[in-house]
A = this chain, B = another copy of it.
């Protein structure tokens, strides 16, 4: 099981990136995404609307105390992975994380030093300036799955060569 924690969400600046982080997580089999920073009803609503139509389970949950959340996950034997441009190559941990529960931390603009310390692994998708969302997508594609079955979906998109096919369930 892989869960995601997005740090330091700021409503004005991050709404779209955080929404995309949630949708990408859901599409790649994550069922819970946490976020810290400003609580954002509009972000939660956008995500919930997708879940209502396309199915779940998927939750986006605000946390006031991200470090406490991380420590709880550690007690539950989750591996804590912080994705950062400064980290070691993400492909190095394949054996260590196989079949483990994982919490992936992705930063906002600034990430405090304690997150580097508390994480089991600080990992990078190349040591070049990047996007936390691009990095998360690559990590999840490598270590998770593209999800095809969602519960309680009201509509479904069918693969199409040209154009759009949507069916009601």
| Bound CA–CA A133/B18 (angstroms) | 12
Binding site for B on A (CB under 8 A): 13-14, 16-17, 19-21, 23-24, 26-28, 50, 54, 85-89, 113, 116-117, 122, 124-131, 133-138, 141-142, 146-148, 150, 156-165
| Bound CA–CA A54/B85 (angstroms) | 12
Q: Across the interface, do A117 and B17 meet the contact criterion of CB distance under 8 Å?
A: no
* Closest B residue by C-beta to A24: B134
Which 6 pairs between the two chains have the least Cβ-Cβ distance? A24-B134, A20-B131, A137-B137, A134-B137, A127-B157, A126-B146
Copies assembled: 2
Chain A interface, >50% SS class: mixed
Q: Indicate which residue in B13, B116, B134, B163 contacts A27 across the interface (CB closer than 8 Å).
A: B134
Q: What is the minimal beta-carbon distance from A3 to any residue of chain B, in angstroms?
A: 17
Q: What is the minimal beta-carbon distance from A29 to any residue of chain B, in angstroms?
A: 10
Q: Across the interface, do B17 and A159 meet the contact criterion of CB distance under 8 Å?
A: no
Q: Across the interface, do B86 and A24 meet the contact criterion of CB distance under 8 Å?
A: no
Q: Indicate which residue in B127, B130, B150 contacts A23 across the interface (CB closer than 8 Å).
A: B130
Q: Across the interface, do B133 and A133 meet the contact criterion of CB distance under 8 Å?
A: yes
* Closest B residue by C-beta to A113: B163
Q: Across the interface, do B27 and A158 meet the contact criterion of CB distance under 8 Å?
A: no
What residues on B are CB-neighbors of A13 within 8 Å? 16
Q: Across the interface, do B159 and A23 meet the contact criterion of CB distance under 8 Å?
A: no
Q: Across the interface, do B130 and A27 meet the contact criterion of CB distance under 8 Å?
A: yes
Q: Across the interface, do A125 and B88 meet the contact criterion of CB distance under 8 Å?
A: no
